[in-house]
Structure 1
Amino acid sequence: MSLTQVFGGRGKATELEPLGVIDIGSNSVRLVVYEGAVRAAMPIFNEKVLCGLGKSIASTGHLGAESVERALEALRRFRAIAHILKVKNLRVLATAAVREAEDGHDFIVRAEKAAGTRIEVLSGEMEAQFAAYGIRMGFMNADGLAADLGGGSLEVIDIYKDRLNDAATLPLGGLRLIDQTANRIERALPMVDESVARINWLVNGRGRPFYAVGGTWRALAKLHMEHTNYPLRVMHGYSIPTREAIEFCQFVRRTKKVSTLRGMEEVARARRDVVPYGALVLERLLEALAPSEVIFSVFGIREGLLFSLMTPHEQAKDPLLCFCEDYARLRSRSVAHAHELCSWTDALFEGDGLKETEEDRRLRHAACLLSDIGWRAHPDYRGEQSLNVVAHSGMSGIDHPGRIFLALAVYYRHVGSDEAKGDDLSARLRLAVSKRAQKRARIIGAAIRAAHMLSIGMPGVIDETKLSYEGPKLVLTIPRTYEALDGERLRRRFGMLAELVQREPEIRILG
């Protein structure tokens, strides 16, 4: 059986070949298998083993014997998994620990035998470049400084859209700092400040976003979500204002017993000791940089490698809309109908209608593409289930306010705009976005509800109807061919849409 049959296919799935990336880091060894080298590739498989290869490099210069055996065992397992998943292109990357260890070459010889393929030992410069590509993979038009914190090193790079500027590698990995300071964090502070001060171009990050990459910083984001009772648990695109991030980092690193921190039980045991050091490095970087905000990314060097393998045409695609189209093809009744909704709702924002920015339009089209993914659920729970799916999906190229907007728009498409029907999550999500975003979500949800009364989710109907503004009226023109679809439910839903855009509804039969 092919992977296309197993995973359902997504139109172009027959053209895709699974691609595997193994990342041998200073703290963990991880395998991720992707659908293929495409813009919104989804992981088919993802597993990591916390080996701690770099935990004694600073003091001994060698990889720990126990850590090496754990890593080799993981590589043998990952090789077998890649074979089962029919991965023909398996890339293996090694970073700071293997690069710097005196016995790194000996490890590579054994590791290549275990993995069954060549291992690429990345330089610090290449590691920074792949981290930057990972940010480009996960964000539209990224503009700021990105930093990837591993167990052995910290890579920092300046990104401006499709251009990579200055880059540096600093000896500030969490495991390295624990080793160098004998696990006394107060000793690490001057070491961090001294390393950061050597990089004079870091001032270029002032007032621009700071993209935080790496498992330790993701754990820190998870703790902040728990600390603030944030309604989502999605790491990618989660942002914190700079001053708030600095104060939280100080709180974490000064906590006497980190195991008592709320949410720490969800962090892997092998990573918990590293979190305060990650907080210290982030705090001192932010103090030096003064960026506009901290944005956390789940996309790093593995996704960066994937991005580097794409054609320029594929790289230039919108990751959000690619994801939404693929998801619509998998889950909705008709992706063609979803595209018709994009065009049909355009009329609400043309001429004398509502105003929207280019980003608003992009998000509206994404909402239309996702609007029918819950059709197989029980009618009483379609709204709630769609809300959860969209809010927690693996989409990229979108920030959290945009993610919440999409979730609410698809939710209102099923339940209408009556807040009294809302569940706990929808109520909490509403509080996390602006009033304007909430209203737009209701309008788009109402438009899609009205459209479905005509199309029944099938293509070829609403593209023959027309929405237009005529003075105080919102007019829906239906060709006589579809006159029988006019009725009480359509008029009720269209009336709700007209009310939301502050117009009087009128339905006309033409011909």
Structure 2
Amino acid sequence: MTEQRIGIIDIGSNSIRLVVYERTAQGAHRVIDGSKRAARLSEQIDERGNVPETAISELVDMMNHFRLICAHHRTGYIRTVATAAIRNAANRDDVLRRIEDEAGLRVELLSGEEEAAYGFLGMINSMDITDGFLIDIGGGSTEVSLFRDRTLVQSVSFPFGCVNLTRRFAPKGVLADEDLRALEAYVEEAVGKESWISWSPDLPLVGVGGTIRALGKVHQAHVKYTFQSHHNYPIAGDEVDALFEQTRKLPLDKRRKLPGLSKDRVDIIVPGIAIARALYKAARSSHYVVCGTGLRDGLFYDTRFPEQPRQTDVLAYSVSNLAALHPAMPRQHVAQVNRSAMQLLESLRHDQPLPERAWLWLDTASSLFRIGASIDYYEYAKHTFYLMINSQLFGLSHRELLICAAVASYKSRNRAKLLAASFRPILDDHDVQLISLLGTLLQLAVALDRSETQAISRLDVAVDGAKLLLSATRAEGALAVERKEVDGLADDFKKVWGLTPHLTVPHLR
């Protein structure tokens, strides 16, 4: 697929979405436009199982609207798919024909298994997770998949979702005790026919789709979570149960004011969470994890990279993609800083106890520390922090992402303290020390190429008492700029590491 822009249209049972992806001149990918319309198609199915004429006409109008948005962006390829509501409709052939004839879009009708596979692809390319269950609670269907060693093992699509179960058990959006028991019994009976769901206890239940994202947003608002990202957000099972009961007991007028809950989910959120709880219980899961990617992302990867849609290293890919989105970054300088930072960490690993993944964090930070200069060079550190925590930097927990961004933008220990204070309890005092250790290493690595000429081609590092000896055994020139920068950092480095760095150029002696 060589088109510069790709449009993905997902005709879901609850909502219809468009996402436009762009491939930049540097080969990076990003979303440049998106649109969502609430449709509630599975709610409109009539007693004969048909999508009514009014709903078809509205759908065609929406498709034409999305096609015009794609045309505005000169989108080279539009991939349109439909899921449960159309899949299960008695007049589905007529619906698909109308969309093709009147909107010029050929629609792929995804099977439940295909829907699960694309959802899995979107999730696995955005999370560093090995084993678990994946659930996608849509409006008219729910997909459940088991994955092991990052590979899809088994999946099933159930013919129920948050919209059609709301219609059946909570027509006014209120799920009474008796109706809840009936809903749970209905889900449990269907799930019980898939015995493999109960064979792998104590695995995380990863959720994609609007229901689980809404659950994550409401929970974050409830606990006053200090980091506004719902992707890769874990929630304990008992906390979901407590939040479910609180939300279920709220009348609709008060539920509309619930922080974090969008207005188009006020009536369907409770039945949706009820489905999630029933599946959590059946799978005997360890905890929930909210995933911000899913079906549309999987369709994009399958379209753009048909030969190898699944990424082998999620973090490395997203770091490379984010760096490519900021082409003004001096690549040779950043590569030199990255090499020096990792060499310094290797040389000093016995001087300070560091977590095993500290290598990964410094590698990430030293690869991205200059992306903020694309906004403003003089304030690039703060812009780097903002860009890192608000971009698709996958494969890290929230704590790890904040640590990486803090290291990449490190200025001083006091600044690290202030930053950690604004993200408590995700970051604590121990993390301040960790950020300071890695941040000063990165500062020293930057100082060693301050002229941005990559003048040092070989650096020997040794510890002699309270001195950190940096010997540029292969270097061009006297490194006057670098030596002055290292001297300027010496006091701050000593406060954190207990070592005073000294840069020498042996051939000048």
Instruction: Tell me the TM-score range normalised by the shorter chain.
Output: 0.7 to 0.9
**C-alpha offsets along residues 385-412 of structure 1, whole Å, 9 cap, x if unaligned?**
3322211222222221221112211231
1:81 aligns with 2:79: no
Instruction: Please tell me whether the aligned partners of residues 329 and 335 of structure 1 are also in contact (alpha carbons under 8 angstroms).
Output: no
Q: Indicate the residue corresponding to 2:13 in structure 1.
A: 26
State the AA in 1 paired with 2:191: V
1: CA distance, partners of 2:300 / 2:440: 39
Q: Which moved more, 1:166-175 or 1:440-449?
A: 440-449
2: CA distance, partners of 1:66 / 1:471: 81
Greater fraction helix: 1
Instruction: Please tell me whether the aligned partners of residues 39 and 314 of structure 1 are also in contact (alpha carbons under 8 angstroms).
Output: no
1:505 aligns with 2:501: yes
Match of 2:300 among 299, 303, 306: 306
1:243 aligns with 2:231: no
1: CA distance, partners of 2:63 / 2:118: 21
Return the offset for 1:368.
1.0
Question: Quick one: structure 1 residues 314 and 279, their matched pair in 2 at CA, closer, same or farther if it must change by over 3 Å?
Answer: closer
**C-alpha offsets along residues 358-398 of structure 1, whole Å, 9 cap, x if unaligned?**
64322321111110122355677544333222112222222
Question: Quick one: structure 1 residues 498 and 62, their matched pair in 2 at CA, closer, same or farther if it must change by over 3 Å?
Answer: farther
Return the offset for 1:32.
1.1
SS of alignment partner, residue 481 of structure 1: coil
Q: Indicate the residue corresponding to 2:454 in structure 1.
A: 460
1:339 aligns with 2:339: no
Q: Which moved more, 1:194-203 or 1:148-157?
A: 194-203
**C-alpha offsets along residues 450-490 of structure 1, whole Å, 9 cap, x if unaligned?**
33334237251355444443454322224472431255653
CA root-mean-square deviation: 3.0
State the AA in 2 paired with 1:485: V
1:349 aligns with 2:345: yes
Match of 2:113 among 125, 130, 133: 125
SS of alignment partner, residue 42 of structure 2: coil
1: CA distance, partners of 2:381 / 2:85: 48
Instruction: Please tell me whether the aligned partners of residues 7 and 77 of structure 2 are also in contact (alpha carbons under 8 angstroms).
Output: yes
SS of alignment partner, residue 505 of structure 2: strand
1:362 aligns with 2:360: yes
Instruction: Please tell me whether the aligned partners of residues 52 and 67 of structure 1 are also in contact (alpha carbons under 8 angstroms).
Output: no
Return the offset for 1:95.
0.3
1: CA distance, partners of 2:219 / 2:243: 7
SS of alignment partner, residue 30 of structure 1: strand
Q: Indicate the residue corresponding to 1:8 in structure 2.
A: none
Question: Quick one: structure 1 residues 268 and 431, their matched pair in 2 at CA, closer, same or farther if it must change by over 3 Å?
Answer: closer
Q: Which moved more, 1:394-403 or 1:65-74?
A: 65-74
Question: Quick one: structure 1 residues 319 and 220, their matched pair in 2 at CA, closer, same or farther if it must change by over 3 Å?
Answer: same
Question: Quick one: structure 1 residues 115 and 401, their matched pair in 2 at CA, closer, same or farther if it must change by over 3 Å?
Answer: farther
Return the offset for 1:64.
4.4
Return the offset for 1:160.
1.6
Q: Which moved more, 1:144-153 or 1:434-443?
A: 434-443
Which TM-score applies when normalising by structure 2?
0.87
1: CA distance, partners of 2:4 / 2:457: 36
SS of alignment partner, residue 202 of structure 2: coil
1:276 aligns with 2:270: yes
2: CA distance, partners of 1:163 / 1:420: 39
Instruction: Please tell me whether the aligned partners of residues 450 and 482 of structure 2 are also in contact (alpha carbons under 8 angstroms).
Output: no
1:234 aligns with 2:229: yes
Q: Indicate the residue corresponding to 1:402 in structure 2.
A: 400
Q: How does 1:189-228 map to 2 (within 5 A)?
A: 189-228=184-223
Return the offset for 1:439.
2.7
Q: Which moved more, 1:53-62 or 1:333-342?
A: 53-62
Q: How does 1:405-444 map to 2 (within 5 A)?
A: 405-412=403-410, 415-419=411-415, 422=418, 426-429=420-423, 431-433=425-427, 435-444=429-438
Match of 1:372 among 366, 370, 389: 370
1:473 aligns with 2:467: yes
2: CA distance, partners of 1:16 / 1:436: 47
1:287 aligns with 2:281: yes
Question: Quick one: structure 1 residues 376 and 82, their matched pair in 2 at CA, closer, same or farther if it must change by over 3 Å?
Answer: closer
**C-alpha offsets along residues 273-294 of structure 1, whole Å, 9 cap, x if unaligned?**
1111122112222223232221
Instruction: Please tell me whether the aligned partners of residues 162 and 272 of structure 2 are also in contact (alpha carbons under 8 angstroms).
Output: yes
Q: How does 1:311-322 map to 2 (within 5 A)?
A: 315-322=310-317
SS of alignment partner, residue 455 of structure 1: coil
Return the offset for 1:145.
0.5
SS of alignment partner, residue 372 of structure 2: coil
**Structure 2: tracts of 5 or more residues without a match:** none
Question: Quick one: structure 1 residues 437 and 420, their matched pair in 2 at CA, closer, same or farther if it must change by over 3 Å?
Answer: closer
2: CA distance, partners of 1:205 / 1:403: 30
**C-alpha offsets along residues 50-77 of structure 1, whole Å, 9 cap, x if unaligned?**
1111113385522244433332222101
Instruction: Please tell me whether the aligned partners of residues 59 and 179 of structure 1 are also in contact (alpha carbons under 8 angstroms).
Output: no
State the AA in 1 paired with 2:224: N
Q: Indicate the residue corresponding to 2:49 in structure 1.
A: 61
State the AA in 1 paired with 2:198: V
Q: How does 1:245-260 map to 2 (within 5 A)?
A: 245-257=240-252, 259-260=254-255
Q: How does 1:72-111 map to 2 (within 5 A)?
A: 72-111=60-99
1: CA distance, partners of 2:342 / 2:141: 49
State the AA in 1 paired with 2:435: A
Question: Quick one: structure 1 residues 200 and 21, their matched pair in 2 at CA, closer, same or farther if it must change by over 3 Å?
Answer: same
1:492 aligns with 2:488: yes
Return the offset for 1:162.
4.1
Which TM-score applies when normalising by structure 1?
0.87
**C-alpha offsets along residues 425-468 of structure 1, whole Å, 9 cap, x if unaligned?**
x5222531355543332222222223333423725135544444
Q: Indicate the residue corresponding to 2:382 in structure 1.
A: 384
State the AA in 2 paired with 1:21: I
Question: Quick one: structure 1 residues 235 and 134, their matched pair in 2 at CA, closer, same or farther if it must change by over 3 Å?
Answer: same
Instruction: Please tell me whether the aligned partners of residues 202 and 288 of structure 1 are also in contact (alpha carbons under 8 angstroms).
Output: yes
1: CA distance, partners of 2:265 / 2:356: 41
Q: Which moved more, 1:379-388 or 1:233-242?
A: 379-388
SS of alignment partner, residue 26 of structure 1: coil
State the AA in 1 paired with 2:69: I
